[in-house]
């Protein structure tokens, strides 16, 4: 028998993978230390993409991303959990130092 589908597109297992990918994409593109996303905003954005989610699942998904090597930082903003992707890129000044070193 076929696996259940999410919006007629993919199985529950696949939708979980898609949720993790979309969550990482959202955090890496839209957040930094000064601009984290709260749990409620993350849930709302995922649901707008057609990905069912609740706020308790967000913390578990963040833990999964961290276990897989994607560094996501947690902090509280007015007593509400918020998340942002850790910076891994090079700033312009660091790139200039590297270029000068070569």
pLDDT of residue 92: 75
- Report pLDDT digits (tens) over 35-74: 999 999 999 999 999 999 998 999 999 999 999 989 999 9
Give domain limits for the chain. Answer: 5-101
Q: Predicted confidence band at 2 (pLDDT cuts at 50, 70, 90)? A: very low
CATH of 5-101, one of 1.10.1140.10, 1.10.3720.10, 1.10.10.10, 2.40.170.20: 1.10.10.10
Specify the pTM.
0.74
- Report pLDDT digits (tens) over 13-33: 777 889 999 999 999 999 999
Q: Which two tokens stand for residue 2?
A: 């076929």
Residues 75 and 86: beta-carbon distance below 8 Å: no
Q: HSE of 83 in the Cβ direction (CA atoms, 13 Å)?
A: 25
Residue length of the chain: 102
pLDDT of residue 9: 53
Q: CA separation (Å) from 21 to 34, 39, 58, 63, 78?
A: 22, 16, 13, 13, 27
- Report pLDDT digits (tens) over 75-97: 998 899 999 999 766 667 777 88
């Amino acid at each position: 028998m076929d696996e259940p589908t999410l919006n007629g597109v993919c199985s529950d297992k696949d939708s979980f993978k898609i949720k993790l990918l979309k969550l990482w994409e959202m955090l890496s593109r839209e957040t930094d230390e000064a601009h984290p996303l709260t749990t409620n905003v993350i849930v709302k954005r995922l649901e707008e993409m057609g990905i069912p989610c609740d706020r308790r699942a967000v913390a578990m998904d963040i833990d999964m991303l961290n276990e897989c090597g994607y560094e996501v930082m947690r902090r509280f903003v007015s007593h509400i959990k918020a998340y942002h992707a850790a910076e891994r890129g090079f700033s312009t000044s660091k790139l200039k130092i590297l270029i000068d070193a070569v």
